Amino acid sequence: MGTLTIAAAQFAPGDDPAANLDTIRTFAEQAAERGAQLLVTPEYSSYCTADIDDRFVAAAQPLDGSFVTGLQRIARDAGLALVVGVAETSDDPARFRNTLVVVRSDGTLDSTYRKVHLYDAFGARESDRIDAGDPEQVAVFELDGVRVGLETCYDLRFPEVTRRLAAPEHGAADVVVLPAEWVRGPGKEHHWRTLLTARAIENTVWVVGAGQTPPIGVGGSVVLDPSGVAVAAVGATPGLLVATIDTDTTAAVRSVNPSLSLRRYAVVPATDPVT
């Protein structure tokens, strides 16, 4: 059993990677002052515009580029780990990868997660510019004895993603962190909070949603406990929320609601979309 104090930074990244790094540094310093061991920032924290077009492709960087090395310096200076959404270069010069990077407090690049479900919905077409991640990924890393699972934005609409992260035979995550750029629109705030809550309840797992603020995103970053109760939340303005993940709470919830152990179905990745 263990605890992990997690901070989520909610802001609107722009098209200047250096300015975005400065914003992350400020949030990292604030998070460290509040005792956080891990800071999570939104999807596309390295670069963001309203449209995913050739500018996004041009702004993408390799994992040894200036943005990730900047994150490594921030992690070392602040003394905490980071999960940050970045635009990563692809092998295809006309495309990029939507990637989460995990940076340890010593500046080590620990692992990555590349978004599996691309946002080809609500009038958007991420797949026109982005390479989808491998559906076999089960992106979980351990920090101070707590297992942290990773997914990104539109993945939230596919419950099997979180199930694989939380299931003991797969990721056995204690908490799932979900950076997002949840685009504004009719009912979208309701979708965001409802789906985050559902993933927490059905998997009896902690969930941290870290979103972008307007003008593109809805905000609404939140930390939910394994029974779906919000223990920390912010509205639509930039800000930092901090909460402590406690696996004793998880054990208590699962003793009453053993839904993971009572499952009758497995989750098997599909290499192609199921139609």
Residues 185, 200: contact at Cβ < 8 Å? no
Q: Is 153 a catalytic residue?
A: yes
The active-site residue, picked from 88, 151, 153, 181, is: 153
DSSP string, the chain: --EEEEEEEEB---S-HHHHHHHHHHHHHHHHHTT-SEEE--TT-S---SS-SHHHHHH-B-TTSHHHHHHHHHHHHHTSEEEEEEEEE-SSTT-EEEEEEEE-TTS-EEEEEE-SS----TT--GGGTEEPPPTT---EEEETTEEEEE--GGGGG-HHHHHHHHSTTTT--SEEEEE---B--TTHHHHHHHHHHHHHHHHT-EEEEE-BPTTTB----EEE-TTS-EEEE--SS-EEEEEEEEHHHHHHHHHH--TTTT--------SS---
Residues ≥6 apart with Cβ < 8 Å to 103? 68, 71, 72, 75, 81, 82, 84, 109, 110
The active-site residue, picked from 48, 115, 126, 181, is: 115
Q: Is 142 a catalytic residue?
A: no
Bond into 226 cis (ω within 30): no
Residue 50 has φ and ψ, to the nearest 5°, of: -65, -30
The set of catalytic residues is: 43, 115, 153
